Amino acid sequence: MIKGVIFDLDGVIVFTDQFHFKAWKQMASELGFCLDEEVNHRLRGVSRMESLDIVLEGYKGASLSQKKKEALADKKNNIYREFLAAMTPDDVTDQVRETLAELHRRGYRIALGSSSKNARFILEKVALAEVFDAVSDGTNITKSKPDPEVFLKAAEYLGLCPKECIVVEDAYAGIDAAKAGNMLAAGIGKAGEYDKADYCIKKFEDLLDFLK
Ligand code: B16
Ligand code: MG
């Protein structure tokens, strides 16, 4: 029986993927290369340093030391945080806010399961910090999606077993992580086409059709 719903953040609750992309693009242009829009979907759900490696596939310069890579990731994060700083509660749709409230009314516990180290900052900006019963994010994990760690921690923080939880994800890596953690998975957006997802939803509020 499902008792808990674990939500991915970027691409599910908020659309910060556009800010990630703009920040990576700016970092790339300072290094003298262009970032293709096609790269964007490969960045979903993967950690900052793994994203950097994907972005640097387009860089043709001399190889970069670990220290330089960390400086580039910091630079990207500073640009990204400037976009985040301008977020407001209007960056969350009424449908998302009302669906979360309805899930609570129906007795579900809800958690966040995000790879981002900026997750709590984003939740504060969009006035959702008090809504989640638990938060598992990039600050409490050692392995990122498709490893299940972030979702297993979320279930643990909710006091539930993996089998009692369903994950809502926009990334293939996130659906793989949920399945590796023995959880049900609902795909939204691009992940809605993924055959490993147990449920495919077109709109966020469609969750209420099967989470009765
Ligand atoms: P940060 P999610 C992920 O968020 C993003 O989809 C991914 O593009 C990003 O690299 C990752 O967080 C790390 O974010 O640099 O803020 O720590 O989809 O897992 O909520
Ligand atoms: Mg995501």
Residue 68 CA to ligand 2 centre (angstroms) = 27
Ligand 1 atom nearest the C-alpha of 44 is 6
* Cα 34 to Cα 125: distance, rounded to the nearest angstrom: 30
* Cα 62 to Cα 58: distance, rounded to the nearest angstrom: 12
DSSP secondary structure letter of residue 86: T
* pLDDT at res. 37: 86
List of residues 6+ apart from 206 with CB closer than 8 A: none
* pLDDT at res. 111: 98
Flag whether the pTM goes above 0.75: yes
Q: What is the pLDDT of residues 19-68, one digit of tens each?
A: 999 999 999 999 999 998 889 888 988 999 999 999 999 998 888 999 99
The model's confidence at residue 85, banded by pLDDT at 50, 70 and 90, is very high
In this prediction, residues 88-94 reach a mean pLDDT of: 98
Q: What is the pLDDT of residues 150-204, one digit of tens each?
A: 999 999 999 999 999 999 999 999 999 999 999 999 999 889 999 999 999 999 9
Q: Is 120 in the pocket of ligand 1 (CB under 6 A)?
A: no
In total, the chain counts a number of residues equal to 212
Helix (H, G, I), strand (E, B) or coil at 69: helix
Is 10 designated active site?
Answer: yes
Q: What is the pLDDT of residues 102-143, one digit of tens each?
A: 999 999 999 999 999 999 999 999 999 999 999 999 999 999
